[in-house]
Amino acid sequence: MNFVSIIMGSKSDYEIMKNCSDTFEKFNVKYEMIISSAHRSPERTKDYVKEAEEKGAVAFIAAAGMAAHLAGALAAATTKPIIGVPMKGGAMDGMDAMLSTVQMPAGMPVATVALGKAGAINAAYLAMQILAISDKELAIKLKEDRIVKAKAVETDSKDIEVLL
């Protein structure tokens, strides 16, 4: 069974990362979601990654703020794709998390998406694009979703358009 794993460094990340799981549910994509910290529970994090891989995890989404080492800890524990979602908060209001998530050493890639809600949703979409490489049904759903989004832009524009 293929699925995506969502790991949050703290329970305070849940309200934002619920947008990620909601996106998966909209597309009927299987996922797991846990809280595990690179700093406070490193053994739990490492053990979970191994267990998730054995169960069929195809990609991991890591949401963390401040030092945001969770994505890097996951990258060190697996060769599966890692998607980092930097979370707002702390003294630098998320900039520290963004910089920490994006600055990985060569050979330890972490795909980094936007801060907060947009990042949570984009992480789900990126993970689904990875899954869609081998899941034609999901690939079709993603293409249909793009068409719906494009039509919504056109509809919104018609409501306010002023053309010469």
Per the annotation, binding residues are: 10, 13, 40
Binding residues for substrate: 10, 13, 40
Whether the CB-CB separation of 138 and 125 falls below 8 Å is answered with no
**Closest by alpha carbon to 29, among 112, 107, 100, 128?**
128
Pairing mode, if any, of strands 82-87 and 57-65? parallel
Whether the CB-CB separation of 65 and 13 falls below 8 Å is answered with yes
* Angle at 44 (CA atoms; ends 101, 73), nearest 5 degrees: 20
Q: Give the span between the Cα atoms of 160 and 54, in whole angstroms.
A: 52
In which residue are the tokens 């702390």 written? 90
**35 Cβ neighbours under 8 A, 6+ residues apart:** 7, 8, 9, 10, 11, 13, 14
CB atoms within 10 A of CB 121: 18
